[in-house]
Amino acid sequence: MNAYRLKPVRFPWPPFLYAVAIVAAFALGHLVRLPLPGRSVLILVGGLVLMAGMLLDLSALKTLITAKTTVMPHKAASHLITTGPYRITRNPIYVGYTLSTVGIGLILGNPWFVVAAIAAALVTDIVVVRREEMHLLARFGIKYESYCRQTRRWI
């Protein structure tokens, strides 16, 4: 049997990767200060970006729970989900994590969060998303291929 059919990864990497990115951004912000102009505008925009990320994440989780499939990235998917935010992106939870990390950085006036969010998204893509895609292809075949042709991986 195809190993990817059983489960995509052994460890739930995305939350861990984004947590490391946030800690790194805090540390870099203390070591190398990069001031951002327009503080009040950044707080407002950051709040909106953070809320958008959180709403996208919660909407994706609700969609998975409603469909009775796993929300954990290291568990096997029981259903191919193509509704809700999954109509827009194949990875709404990771997009939500990325937006939330950027939003926190804008609120705090710490541009390292933007760098950290991009780095976490890139590592997530390499370490997790590619394996998840192979898992979904092994489990759902042509239905997943069709979904991939219609829906972008990120945005």
Residue-wise pLDDT tens digits, 134-146? 889 989 999 999 9
Contact 7, 69 (CB under 8 A): no
- What was the pLDDT predicted at 35? 72
Q: How far apart are CA 117 and CA 121, in angstroms?
A: 6
On the CB side of 64, CA atoms within 13 Å amount to: 20
Contact call for residues 29 and 93 (beta carbons, < 8 A): no
Which range among 36-45, 86-95, 121-130 has the greatest average pLDDT?
86-95
pLDDT at 6: 53
The mean per-residue pLDDT over the stretch 14-25 comes to 90
- Provide the pLDDT confidence category of residue 67 given band limits of 50, 70 and 90: very high
| Model confidence, pTM | 0.86
Q: Give the pLDDT confidence score for residue 106 in this predicted structure.
A: 94
Q: How far apart are CA 134 and CA 127, in angstroms?
A: 12
